[in-house]
Amino acid sequence: MQGNAAENKAVDYLEEQGLTLRCRNYRTKRGELDIVMQDGDTIVCVEVKFRKQSQYGHAAEFVTMKKLQRIQAAFAFYLLDNKLNPASTPLRIDVIAIDGSDLQWLKNIG
């Protein structure tokens, strides 16, 4: 499974959970958002991490503080581009961690 296939698996899983896809691979000069979903009134930025094997660490461990800061900066650009006010719009950053065939959904990481 490559990055695109992992993102497809994540989108399929999240849609099964009732979320709606808003955007994929949103790029700014400050970083990229893998997936943006809608969960009721909440806009959810989803970082997808995939590891074929976990012998060198689990997928979720690769979301570092620096990576989280980049995601937050790119998310701010996304909100601005889409005329969404962060003060009045519920927001969340989640991670979908895929280790081999095991998928884990970590909600509200930052």
Q: Work out the burial of residue 91: count CB atoms within 10 Å of its CB; fewer than 13 is exposed, 13-18 middle, 19 or more buried.
A: middle
Nearest alpha carbon to residue 22 among 96, 81, 71, 103: 81
**What pLDDT does 58 receive?**
62
* Structural domains present in the chain: 3-58+69-101 (3.40.1350.10)
* pLDDT level of residue 100 (50, 70, 90 thresholds): confident
pLDDT at 64: 77
Residue 97, pLDDT above cutoff 80: yes
